[in-house]
Amino acid sequence: MTSTLPVAPGRLPGLGHLPYLARDQVGFYSSVRELGPVVRIYFGPMEALLLTDPALIHQVLVTDADKFTKGRIFRKTKPFFGNGLATSDGEFHLRQRRLMSPAFHQRRLAGYGEVMRAEVERMTKRWTPGQRIAWEKAMYAVTPHIIGKTLFHSDLGGEAAAEIHRSLPLVLRGAVTRSLNPLPWLPAVLSRRYDQAGQRLDAIIDRILASYAHDQTDRGDLLSMLLTARHEDTGEGMSRQQVRDEIMTLLVAGTETAAVTLSWLFHELSRHPAVEARLHTELDTALAGRPVTFADLPNLPYLRQVIDEVLRLHNPVPMSMRAAQTTLRLGPATTCPGTEIVYSPLALHRDPRHHPHPLHFDPDRWTTPPAPGTYLPFGGGRHRCVGERFAIAEMMIATATIASQWRLRAAPGYRVRSVAYTTHHPVSLPMIIEKR
């Protein structure tokens, strides 16, 4: 039963709460938390239960995870993303997850670390002191190259990266628009743009898969891992279609998230000179002027605190969904099969009941761990981000490489605005580059 639960105010006929979500998604989720642990919200005519209580989110993601499937947003994007990790469920998902996890083991990450640093250096080599740069665009350009080159150790890696950079934002936008749009159709012009971007990405993945078909050796990249991985019980590998779906999923899940976090990170450093100075001291002491490697990361604890704080205050994931498969008790609510559930990592991270002075950027809060369930930058349970360690390594290596030599200053007179659609990101971040 959900009819006795509070409804978020301002529901509009036909549109539900979509106009508020479009204007300020995180502000909306945060504003209704006072109403209770479970609040009814509407995407057009579709009802969903927004969870504002960490214990209930934990129940859905972890304790009762087997009673939930991925929600509408994932179902609607399946035609494009296929049956990759992010959109699959149940036994199939668990088997795929077991097969793919080794690609993200420590030993592999050490190798990817070199690619991560090289790609960031390729960008900084072109910088000149005093140059003004569209910072978020620079980050959107560098992370596709990192993921392109770590996924495919192929001559096509660079070409793939350029295509990811060009088409992925459109594909993502199309996926979310299609899943939340209350109308059964989209204007033809939009549909065409989204479809064409998807076809371009598909085409480049196909060419890469074809180039690997002749040579089954492990090239030390993610794609080799996926192609050579075998299920323990049957000894079987993944079908070509499944490999394609997993690659598309990794591209989608792993590119914009890291780019957005790095964008926010340097924005916060430019606003907090004391944090920046402490980070510089740590880098200078630990690295003594040499390039950072994967092995250095445990010796950079303050950098890790800075990243944890950016992931709290500016988590790129504004919300995620699940759908109940059965009738079950969820705090004051009782779900039935098909009940849609929403949780917002970002709104949870900005809840003053769990994170005092939540809008204050303070890496020192990470000297003590947060209360269980109140910090979910990478989700939780069986669908917890498989790329978490990859992302942390990527962001630490990128930040260390840049901040060892450069400082970024906010362009004078510019006021930063953020928007949450596919990710929660700055609209634009003009910065001035200075040599340290």
Residues engaged in binding ligand HEM (CB under 6 A)? 85-86, 97, 249-250, 253-254, 257-258, 261, 315-317, 320, 345, 377-379, 383, 385-387, 390-391
Tokens of 77: 């994007």
Q: Radius of gyration (Cα) for the chain, nearest Å? A: 22
Q: How far is CA 414 from CA 130, 313, 411, 424, in A?
A: 16, 20, 6, 19
CB of 252 to ligand HEM, least distance (A): 8
Q: Which is nearer to ligand HEM, 37 or 377 (CB)?
A: 377
- The DSSP result for 31-61, as a single string, is HTGGG-SEEEEEETTEEEEEE--HHHHHIII
Tokens standing for residue 58? 């934990």
Q: Which is nearer to ligand HEM, 21 or 317 (CB)?
A: 317
CB of 331 to ligand HEM, least distance (A): 19
Runs of H (alpha helix) within 273-368? 273-287, 301-313, 345-349
Q: 3-state class of 406 per DSSP? A: strand
- CB 20 → ligand HEM: shortest distance, Å? 22
Smallest gap, in angstroms, from Cβ of residue 80 to ligand HEM? 15
Point out the residue whose Cβ comes nearest to ligand HEM.
Answer: 387
Integer Cα distance of 223 and 152 in angstroms: 6
Q: State the nearest-atom distance from the C-beta of 381 to ligand HEM, in Å.
A: 8
**CB of 180 vs ligand HEM, minimal distance in Å:** 15
Give dist(CA 344, CA 331) in Å, integer. Answer: 17
To which H or E segment does residue 324 belong? strand 320-324
CA distances from residue 260 to 14, 139, 206, 255, 279 in whole angstroms, order as listed: 32, 7, 28, 9, 20
- Pick the closer one to ligand HEM by CB: 170 or 323: 323
Q: Which is nearer to ligand HEM, 246 or 282 (CB)?
A: 246
Nearest approach, Cβ of residue 123 and ligand HEM (Å)? 18
* 37 vs 316 by CB, closer to ligand HEM: 316
* 238 versus 253: smaller Cβ distance to ligand HEM: 253
Asked if 84 contacts 248 with a C-beta cutoff of 8 angstroms, the reply is yes
CA dist 24 and 318 (Å) reads: 10
Nearer to ligand HEM, 60 or 433 (CB): 60
Q: Give me the residues paired with residue 342 across strands.
A: 50, 321
Q: How far is the CB of 370 from ligand HEM (least distance, A)?
A: 16
CA distances, 161 to each of 135, 323, 395 (Å): 18, 34, 18
Rounded to the nearest whole angstrom, what is the least distance from the CB of residue 262 to ligand HEM in the complex?
8
Pick between residue 108 and residue 407 the one whose CB is nearest to ligand HEM: 108
Phi, psi of 171 (to 5 degrees): -65, -45
